[in-house]
Every structure is written in C-alpha cells, then in structure tokens.
A and B are shown apart, each in its own frame.
Chain A
Amino acid sequence: MLRYLIPLGIFALLVVFLARGLYLDPHQVPSPLIGKPAPDFVLPQVQDATQQIARKDLLGKVTLLNVWASWCVACRQEHPLLVELARTGAVNIYGLNYKDKREDALRWLDQLGNPYLVSAFDETGKVGIDYGVYGVPETYVIDRQGIIRYKLIGPLTEENLRDKILPLVKELQG
C-alpha cells in the first residue's frame, strides 16, 4: 500500500535538489588548491623585465594575488576597486599578468592605475595553469604561510569585497 507513495517520495527529493540547484552556478569550477600551499613560481616582473618575482616574495604577509590582462574586459570593471583598495593599504596586492603583451600591459596600468606592488609577467600562461586559472579575472587570498585560503572567480565587486574578501583578510592578519 505504502509502496505506491515511493514515486512521489523520490520526486519530492528530486524537487528539493533542483530547487537548491537554481541558486548554484554549474559553470563555476571550485579550486582544489584551497587550503594548500600556493604553487611555486619565478617570473619576470611586468614593469622591470630584469627583475624577478617569486612565490617566496609573497610570504610573511597576507596577499591578494589578482590575475589580470589588458585584453580582459571584466578586468576593467574591477580595476577601480583594486586601485582604491591599494590606496587604503588594507592588504598587499600582487598581480599575475596572464598571457599578455608587455607593452599592452604597461599601457593599461598607465591608463587605469597600478594597484599592484609587483605584477608577475606570465607570458605563456604556465603559472596560470599551475594556479588553476581558467578565466580572467581571478583573485586569490593567500595567507602569511603561503597557503591559498580563498579563490574568487570573476571580477571583484563591492559585495564580494565587503562580504567575503576583506573579512577573511582581516581574520588572517590576526
């Protein structure tokens, strides 16, 4: 007798999952690097090709590693927020210039402002692959010991800065 209710029961369960699914994004790829050490790299700097920047330079302080490129439209959207953030000095911001041309990148920074302490020049995108970059812009929050704590996919916004990133940075800064 009760067995006739089984289809209805299974369907109800399905509806619950589908409803939950409406508020998830199937396209977003979560990072497996959260809680793991940021991958090592040694790259030339964007602004000074003779100088290098490496992972070890990020240690000892909480860092925002922002992946950007001059050809990326959404990066333009978030850039003012980064410039403003850099001005407040709340956190150290480093850039990973992904698959760009040096002249274009420099011109871009000239025009729109440079919030980065240093930008690493990842011409081939190899370091990007190591970090699991698949769509620019992306931003990583890295703690003092060099562990990745959070990855934002997509541009920074007032909301995600206010609700996720800045509180986490504060917490990591102790």
Chain B
Amino acid sequence: MKRTITLALLLILPLCGWAAKETKDVDLKSNNPAIEARLHVLAKELRCLVCQNQTLADSEAELAIDLRNEIRALLEKGLTDEQVVDYLVQRYGDFVRFRPPVNEMTFLLWFGPLLLVVLGSGLLIFYLKRLPSRANNAPLSDAEHKRLDKLLSEAKED
C-alpha cells in the first residue's frame, strides 16, 4: 500500500523543483497590486500539497496554480488573511500551514526554545555560583615565594 502511494507520488514528484508540464492552467492575475501582494505573502507561508517541499508561492504544480487562483478569488471577495488560511485548513488540515498554529499540541514547539534557554541559563548560573571559589588568589607565603624563586632561577640557567 505504502509502496503504491510512494510510486504514485514518485510519478508526480519529479515535476516538483522545476516547472510542471506546459499546462492549460494559467496563473490568473488580478489588476489589483494590493491583492497580488497579499496573495504573495500568504502563499509564501502555505505548503504546496503536491510538491511538498515548496511553498504555494513557488510551486508550479497544477494544484498550486489552482489554489493560488482560489486564494485570489477569496481575497477579491473580501476575506481577511486569517479567513483565507482557515478556508484552506478546513479542506487540507494544518498540514498546509508552514507556520504551525499555536495550540495545546504545538505548545512545546513554540515555547520549547524559550523554556530551554531559561532552563539552560538557570542551570548555568546555578552551577557557576556553586563553583568552589578556592583561595586561588591568596598571596603566596614566604616559603612558597622562596620555592618560586628557586624554580625560576633554575629555569634561567638552561
């Protein structure tokens, strides 16, 4: 089963990474540069489902072109950016978002780094404070001074 899927996907995947076949589908362009700009920003954060290692903005897969046109139509209808993303998530799930949602399941993902930094720094400071501050900086005694002088003069002789 898995092999068949892999095989099926392998038939599509070679198209990814470079342009798809000459398709009858055309990326429509609206005359509204503001809409195009919003589309571009949105599409850069969405995942192409066919060429899954490209954003919806960069992919030239047919489905990507279709979805870009769909988003364009939704934006022209007046939906907000959030509503557009929701529209796609309703149909394709959270998989389609390259920026994962922030919810209980992704809590560890989004706050993990911060927690790790706090934990790491905390451990570091705790450890550093506990380091034995031996009397390393205590001045040498007279006997130690004599020993030091002797050693230094020996070294100089050679």
Contacts and interface: CB of A to CB of B under 8 A. Distances in A.
Direct touch of chains A and B (CB < 8 A)? yes
Interface in A129-143: 129-132, 134-135
Contacts of A154: 1, 4-5, 8
Given A29-B49, A32-B90, A129-B70, A135 B8 contact: yes
Contacts of B75: none
Nearest to A137: B8
Interface in B45-75: 49-50, 52, 62-63, 66-67, 70
Interface in B71-103: 89-96
B2 interface: yes
A159 interface: yes
A74 B8 contact: yes
Contacts of A134: 49-50, 63, 92
Contacts of A160: 1
A153 interface: yes
Contacts of B118: none
Contact of A131 (B50, B62, B91, B93): B91
Nearest to B23: A99
Contacts of A168: none
A133 to B, nearest CB: 8
Interface string B1-40: 1101111110110000000000000000000000000000
B9 A135 contact: yes
Contacts of B5: 25, 27-28, 153-154
A144 to B, nearest CB: 23
Nearest to B13: A27
Interface in B99-151: none
A23 B12 CA distance: 22
A32 B95 CA distance: 10
A157 interface: yes
A129 B67 contact: yes
Nearest to B70: A129
Contact of A155 (B8, B62, B94): B8
Contact of A129 (B6, B7, B52, B91): B91
Contact of B93 (A29, A129, A157): A29
23 contacts: A25-B2, A25-B6, A28-B5, A29-B49, A29-B96, A30-B95, A32-B90, A32-B93, A32-B94, A33-B91, A74-B7, A74-B8, A74-B11, A129-B70, A129-B91, A132-B91, A132-B92, A134-B49, A134-B50, A135-B9, A153-B5, A155-B4, A157-B1
